[in-house]
Amino acid sequence: MYRYCKQVQAAFPSIREERLRETWRWRGWDFQWRSSLWSHGWRVTGIVNHLLPIAESVFFFDGFDGRKALAGAVIHDDPETKKGCFRDYTVLEKDGMSEAQLAVLKEEELAAIDMLVQEFPAKFMGYTYRELLMNAALKTTLESKLVKWADWLDAYCEALHEFFGGNPSVLTGIIRCLAGMEQLRNSLKELWPLFERGGSPFLNIPQIGIHKHYLPRISRGNYPNRPHTPESVRELETDIPVYNAWKELVIEGFGEEGIEWLTTQVEGIEFDQPTPALTLVAQSA
């Protein structure tokens, strides 16, 4: 998977990779193993790739295009690299926004897309770059909905990874992620046949939807709850199949760079404060 990702990245100027590596996720949260958009994007692509054989079987007669789903996964967060124009927010932040605020965010995202298509190649993996970006923004196709599900899964597993690394402050975030899962599934009704087929921990809804009372029990001693190391992430086996599958996908699919994503601490006060953009959006509503 890692070799494929490097080959795909070669289609873009190096500035895109630089921007993705410099843009961090989960601002406003006390994360210690904070991901960049670069690592997040490739993990989402890895999850989509893992689910493709099942999706292509389930949606065989629906015109599902697996290659297009992969292309959409690779570029789905590109608008967030246009700093000062658009920054996406976690589902937890969006929960507290009004319809007017969400509409402002969508306008900013579309403006960022207009800027990106002027800067980067018109075609990516055989598809129009603008079309891929618009699909990711509007989520109207089967392919973009699958990417959205993989996007949520990665965010959820990021939070679990923090928790298993001894950071209990993310417990509230995990519970809120789970609380919003049913609403997300309802917005992805076209994918329900995929969930019903199953065949992967990434589709097993009962196992993904951990009961909120289960998490404090985990933190009381079933796991080391110590900072992640290259050795510990390889050995850690939890009672949460989706996290185990996610960790295995990262390690096996991305090798040493994947291990680095899982074990490199990136923290600091500048990441733990909400960005000014959120205040500006609130004021504009």
In DSSP notation, 10-59 reads TTS-HHHHHHHHH-BS-TTS--SBPPBHHHHHHHHHHHHHHHHHHHHHHT
Residue pair 164/223 in contact (Cβ under 8 Å)? The answer is: yes
Q: Which of 74, 94, 88, 93 is nearest to 25 (CA)?
A: 88
- 255/39 Cα distance (integer angstroms): 12
What architecture (CATH level 2) is domain 2-272?
Answer: Orthogonal Bundle (1.10)
**Gyration radius (Cα) of the chain, Å:** 18
Q: Torsions phi, psi of 24, nearest 5? A: -100, 150
123 strand-pairing partners: 128
- pLDDT band at 269; cut points 50, 70, 90: very low
Q: Report whether 110 contacts 137 (CB < 8 A).
A: yes
Q: Please say whether the beta carbons of 37 and 25 come within 8 A.
A: yes
Spatial CA neighbour of 69 closest among 91, 100, 84, 47: 47
Q: What is the pTM of this model?
A: 0.86
What is the rounded average pLDDT for all residues in the chain?
Answer: 83
The SS3 call for residue 142 is helix
Note the pLDDT of residue 285: 29
User: SS3 for 266?
Assistant: strand
Task: Name beta bridge partners: 24.
Answer: 36
Asked if 75 and 136 touch (Cβ cutoff 8 Å), the reply is yes
Query: Taking the CA of residue 26 as centre, how many other CA atoms within 13 Å lie in the half-sphere pointing to its CB?
Result: 26
DSSP β-bridge partners for residue 33:
266
E strand spans, the chain: 123-124, 127-128
Domain residue limits, the chain: 2-272
Q: What is the mean pLDDT of residues 65-73?
A: 96
Question: Which of 43-57, 70-84, 151-165, 257-271 holds the top average pLDDT?
Answer: 43-57
Q: What is the pLDDT of residues 103-138, one digit of tens each?
A: 888 888 899 999 999 999 999 999 999 999 999 999
Q: How far apart are CA 266 and CA 44, in angstroms?
A: 20
Q: Report phi then psi at 104, rounded to 5.
A: -65, -45
Q: Which of 55-64, 149-158, 247-256, 272-281 has the lowest mean pLDDT?
A: 272-281
